[in-house]
Chains A and B, each alone.
Chain A
Amino acid sequence: MVRRKISIMKMNLFGWKKGRKPKQWLSREKAALSSIALQSLHTSLEKNIQDITKQLGDNTDFSSRHLICIGRRVTLFFFQSLIDSNRLNECIVLPLQERREYRSKQEELLSRENGKHELLQEIQWRIASMADTQRVEEWQTAIQQLCNGKALLLVDGEAAGLLVGIEKTEKRSIEAPETEQSVIGPKESFVEDFHTNITLIRQHLRDPLLTFEVVFIAKRDRTQVGIFYIKDVTNPSIVKEVKRRLSAIDTDAIKGQVHLQELIQDNSFSLFPQIRPTERPDVTCSYLLEGNVAIILSNSAHALILPITFFQLLNTVDDYYSSWQYATLIRIVRIVSLVFSIMLPGLYLSLVAFNPELIPTRLVISMDAARTKVAMPVFLEIFVMEIMIEVLREVGVKLPRPIGQSVSVIGGLVIGEAAVNANLVSPITVVIVALTAISSFTAPIYLLGITYRILRFFLFLCSTILGLYGFILGLFLIHAHVARLVSFGVPYLAPLSPMRLADWKDTLVRFPFKKLTKRPAFLKPLQQTRSKPLPMESGKQSGDEDNQ
């Protein structure tokens, strides 16, 4: 009976679709194919030139250089726009030109085209040794790397080529993070350059067991994706699953981290992010130390942390850079504002329109007095104000920064004041809507803020239809949705469900670091203990042993 657990979940009346394959994107285990055919290089230089010109010759910025090295013909191919021409000259062209003729007996041997094919090795080891080189024997890798900004060097008479790394690196400098600001913590964030991001992570976490693997995904773009994890901490099943999902991606190109996030997360229809993007190297490293996996993507200034749970999303970087009492207080404030920003309009509507008897008498009298001149029904009133707030927020984002901020501030003030004076809305509605909007800014990550906004409209709709009962049903739906979510095998509501009290030390409250000796158990790390308690009195030994 237990074995049938998979089949019982399928939407399968009378077993009609018995032979149907499971979800395609998950089951596709094969590595994504490249758009270039797999074909090996030819020994004849002419034939190779012909092949590559056929593939890339239409590009105006595709160029070649023909040289002679130790008496043999050598051709260099590269994209003018992707390479650094100074480095091209310094690393390849000049050293090759210096060795036009052979100087020794041994070099004489190399000059013979029908001799041993060793000239390429000679170039790799002695002549072009100033740049990083890689030997290739087939066109797929060669052309792919050409598109990454490398130069391809072909020698007449050898069925192999040499890729020389002389790519141009355009990158901005490391700046302070914009969305995850910290008052006390370090002020550096990821940039769009892949290698800089790797450096940043390695600099923050100098652990020799910090493992970094690269996979190439997307068949046209061949985007570089780096997977970071700590070998003796992270659960290997999570790493394996991440790699499997990445290798199963079969798409043209990856456009940013949200694209990748949607492709690999468990439930792409969910409003709740199951992967946490972060622009801070220190946050990435602290998650790595807990047993999570981090993914970095070329051309993206964010790292993706996975698996993630709901309560982990509510933590911010400042929780760990301030005292534990303050961190706990601010976490509770964050939960309260989460409740405010999701529930307030719906609750207000259902109380005012359906069950006013739950509002304190004095308040209901003053509210009614303020509402007597308002013509619109309550739900329309709140809805109009909510839409106004959303419009103003969008304006603040879209307009150039100095104008945008002032327009949204002035717009908010003027519209709020004028709407109340014109008896379009009651003052308390303005208070409710403003409080809601402000509360939603406490969302620790931007994506979660969007979730709050959409859920607020959902609950508002539920209350419009069925009042307080509808509001509660809406809450049930949201709760059930969150309880259903699983992120890479970890239930989204952990450590609340599955319940584990030890993990609560760093969930709603933050205990002092001295007490945070264990890693979160829901990630099933290989090593549970992360620190041993500090012996305060000399001679007193700590009793805690490593679970491992």
Chain B
Amino acid sequence: MNRNEESLMISPTQLVFLVFGIIVGTGFITLPRGVIEKAREDAWLTVILALGIALVSLWLILRVASIFPKDTAITYNVKLFGRTFGLLLNLFLAGYFLFFTITGVRTMAEVVKTEMLPFTPLGIIIGSMLLVLLYCSWDGLMPVVRINESGIPTSIFMIIFFFSLAYPAADWHELRIPFLEGVTPVIQSLPSTSYSFLGYEILFLYYPFIFQKKKAYFHTAIGIGTAGIFYTFVVLGTLVTLGPNMAIAQTYPVITMAKIIEIVPRFVERAELLLIILWLPLAYTTHLITFFSTAFAFNNTFPRISLRWWMMLSLPFIFILSMLPDNLMQMERWTKVTGACGLFLLIGYPVLLLTCVFVRRKLGLLPKN
């Protein structure tokens, strides 16, 4: 019963919070502007559509994973695509999580720098966060899962409470009949919205540890669904309080929206700072899971080097790479590339895997279950 021998079992509740924890992160701050820019008043519809797509791709991911219930994607990549191509795919997967962490940490650091610590160098903000991540993920998967499970409910509750204070200032006339400008703008903003739903591809890695595999779809769907509702709530809030024109003029509309909140009149002057404080835990859980997944994916690809060493080795890379982009615009480009890779992992990759399974079974190289 040594700590290290603890059995890796993700319970249904833990799965819900794990998925929610990784999805809701930096997207929470960056999402509304991207959506409202194209879809304008229909932005909240886009979010709901993106949620639908996410649920479809979740089905695909779990369909693949259930073929190999005891293996992670790292193992079945090699089984399905052969050693070389499998290794490349594994590196792609690990690299994707690496860049997911990099872009996430940098975006968070930018927000913290502008709103909280204007005179502190970016390196210190990022470096301190990375050290915290290293400590938190040091003991493996279960502590990471437990951190999500015990931390998220409180911060969600507080954020919702906070936003419900913004709603009295809402102007509901900003909304209009859906699809007034046709379906095209809604569809056009779908890919960028889907970036905010990225994260549940961790199931490729953690599916073998899920306790109730048969109900995995249901539980993960609850996690994604909650995140979707939460996003809709935020986008709708931004829309009705700021209006689309105002919203797209801001870097982070959610923060601007928080500025109009007065918790108790003349009590707290800068409510948006309070929002950032409440948002930091959500960003941190996302970084934590992606950071751990990076090390986990690398460790599974190259098991000779232990998980803890992979954490230590990836740390300086994350630090240096996250310091490379000069400004937010450049960072945005990085995020887009990472997001595109994520979209491939969500839809293209499971389809590719399924095809490969199909072909291999036809050729008799893979036993049917």
Q: Nearest Cβ distance between residue A467 and chain B, in whole angstroms?
A: 6
Question: In the bound complex, do residue B146 and residue A493 qualify as a contact, i.e. CB atoms below 8 Å apart?
Answer: yes
Question: In the bound complex, do residue A13 and residue B151 qualify as a contact, i.e. CB atoms below 8 Å apart?
Answer: no
Question: In the bound complex, do residue B72 and residue A13 qualify as a contact, i.e. CB atoms below 8 Å apart?
Answer: no
Q: Which of B48-97 contact A (CB under 8 A)?
A: 70-72, 75
| Known interface pairs A14-B305, A480-B136, A499-B149; A486-B266 also in contact (CB < 8 Å) | no
For A1, A4, A360, A473, which residue has the most chain B Cβ atoms within 10 angstroms? A1
Q: Nearest Cβ distance between residue B151 and chain A, in whole angstroms?
A: 6
* Residue of chain A at shortest CB distance from B296: A8
Q: Which of A484-525 contact B (CB under 8 A)?
A: 484, 486, 488-489, 491, 493, 496-499
Pick the residue among B14, B117, B139 that contacts A484 (CB under 8 A): B139
Q: Which residues of A contact B11 (CB under 8 A)?
A: 498-499
- Interface-located stretch among A97-105, A180-188, A200-208, A350-358: A350-358
Q: Complex: how many Å from CA A470 to CA B306? A: 30
Q: Complex: how many Å from CA A493 to CA B142? A: 12
Number of B residues, CB within 8 Å of A: 58
Q: Which of A247-269 contact B (CB under 8 A)?
A: 266-267
Q: Which residues of B contact A243 (CB under 8 A)?
A: none
Pick the residue among B3, B13, B269, B303 that contacts A4 (CB under 8 A): B303
* Residue of chain A at shortest CB distance from B5: A6
Confirm or deny: A468 has a beta carbon within 8 angstroms of a beta carbon on chain B: yes
Confirm or deny: B244 has a beta carbon within 8 angstroms of a beta carbon on chain A: no
Pick the residue among A9, A354, A466 that contacts B140 (CB under 8 A): A9
Q: Nearest Cβ distance between residue B110 and chain A, in whole angstroms?
A: 13
Q: Which residues of B contact A355 (CB under 8 A)?
A: 116, 270, 273
For B8, B268, B307, which residue has the most chain A Cβ atoms within 10 angstroms? B307
Confirm or deny: B355 has a beta carbon within 8 angstroms of a beta carbon on chain A: no
Q: Which residues of A contact B132 (CB under 8 A)?
A: 473, 476-477, 480
| Known interface pairs A1-B208, A360-B267, A469-B117; A498-B13 also in contact (CB < 8 Å) | yes
| Known interface pairs A355-B273, A499-B13; A9-B306 also in contact (CB < 8 Å) | yes
Confirm or deny: A401 has a beta carbon within 8 angstroms of a beta carbon on chain B: no
Question: In the bound complex, do residue B306 and residue A267 qualify as a contact, i.e. CB atoms below 8 Å apart?
Answer: no
| Known interface pairs A5-B8, A476-B284, A497-B146; A467-B306 also in contact (CB < 8 Å) | no
Q: Complex: how many Å from CA A355 to CA B306? A: 42
Q: Which residues of A contact B184 (CB under 8 A)?
A: none
0/1 string, A447-491, CB within 8 A of B gives 1: 000000000000000000011111011001101110110101101
Q: Nearest Cβ distance between residue B133 and chain A, in whole angstroms?
A: 9
Pick the residue among B2, B72, B306 that contacts A26 (CB under 8 A): B2
Q: Which residues of B contact A469 (CB under 8 A)?
A: 112, 116-117, 120, 125, 128, 280
Q: Nearest Cβ distance between residue A310 and chain B, in whole angstroms?
A: 10
Q: Nearest Cβ distance between residue B135 and chain A, in whole angstroms?
A: 6
Confirm or deny: A530 has a beta carbon within 8 angstroms of a beta carbon on chain B: no
Q: Complex: how many Å from CA A1 to CA B307? A: 13
* Residue of chain B at shortest CB distance from A466: B128
Pick the residue among A358, A362, A481 that contacts B273 (CB under 8 A): A358
Q: Complex: how many Å from CA A491 to CA B128? A: 27
Q: Complex: how many Å from CA A482 to CA B304? A: 30
Interface SS of chain A: helix
| Known interface pairs A9-B140, A357-B273, A498-B149; A467-B305 also in contact (CB < 8 Å) | no
Q: Complex: how many Å from CA A63 to CA B307? A: 62
| Known interface pairs A11-B309, A23-B2, A358-B269; A466-B70 also in contact (CB < 8 Å) | no
Q: Nearest Cβ distance between residue B132 and chain A, in whole angstroms?
A: 5
* Residue of chain A at shortest CB distance from B12: A499
Q: Nearest Cβ distance between residue A70 and chain B, in whole angstroms?
A: 56
| Known interface pairs A466-B128, A499-B149; A7-B306 also in contact (CB < 8 Å) | yes
Question: In the bound complex, do residue B1 and residue A489 qualify as a contact, i.e. CB atoms below 8 Å apart?
Answer: yes
Q: Which residues of B contact A22 (CB under 8 A)?
A: 2
Confirm or deny: B129 has a beta carbon within 8 angstroms of a beta carbon on chain A: yes
Q: Which residues of A contact B303 (CB under 8 A)?
A: 4, 8
Question: In the bound complex, do residue A498 and residue B14 qualify as a contact, i.e. CB atoms below 8 Å apart?
Answer: yes
Question: In the bound complex, do residue A361 and residue B270 qualify as a contact, i.e. CB atoms below 8 Å apart?
Answer: no
Confirm or deny: B225 has a beta carbon within 8 angstroms of a beta carbon on chain A: no
Confirm or deny: A37 has a beta carbon within 8 angstroms of a beta carbon on chain B: no
Confirm or deny: B299 has a beta carbon within 8 angstroms of a beta carbon on chain A: yes
0/1 string, A148-171, CB within 8 A of B gives 1: 000000000000000000000000
Confirm or deny: A232 has a beta carbon within 8 angstroms of a beta carbon on chain B: no
Q: Which residues of A contact B326 (CB under 8 A)?
A: none
Pick the residue among A9, A15, A467 that contacts B116 (CB under 8 A): A467
Q: Which residues of A contact B116 (CB under 8 A)?
A: 354-355, 467-469
Q: Which residues of A contact B147 (CB under 8 A)?
A: 479-480, 483
Q: Complex: how many Å from CA A450 to CA B15? A: 35
Confirm or deny: B185 has a beta carbon within 8 angstroms of a beta carbon on chain A: no
Q: Complex: how many Å from CA A497 to CA B144? A: 11
**Given A466-B117, A469-B117; 13 other pairs, CB 8 A cutoff:** A1-B208, A266-B3, A466-B120, A467-B117, A468-B273, A469-B116, A469-B280, A477-B132, A483-B146, A483-B151, A484-B136, A484-B139, A491-B142
A-B contact pairs, 20 of them (CB 8 A): A2-B8, A2-B208, A10-B306, A10-B308, A11-B306, A12-B308, A12-B309, A13-B309, A15-B306, A354-B116, A358-B270, A466-B117, A466-B120, A469-B128, A477-B136, A480-B143, A484-B3, A484-B146, A489-B1, A498-B146
Interface residues of A (CB under 8 A from B): 1-2, 4-15, 22-23, 26, 237, 241, 266-267, 354-355, 357-358, 360-362, 466-470, 472-473, 476-477, 479-481, 483-484, 486, 488-489, 491, 493, 496-499
Leading 6 A-B pairs by shortest Cβ distance? A480-B136, A497-B150, A497-B149, A484-B143, A489-B1, A483-B146
Interface residues of B (CB under 8 A from A): 1-8, 11, 13-14, 70-72, 75, 112, 116-117, 120, 124-125, 128-129, 132, 135-136, 138-140, 142-143, 146-147, 149-151, 208-209, 266-270, 273-274, 277, 280-281, 284, 299-300, 303-309
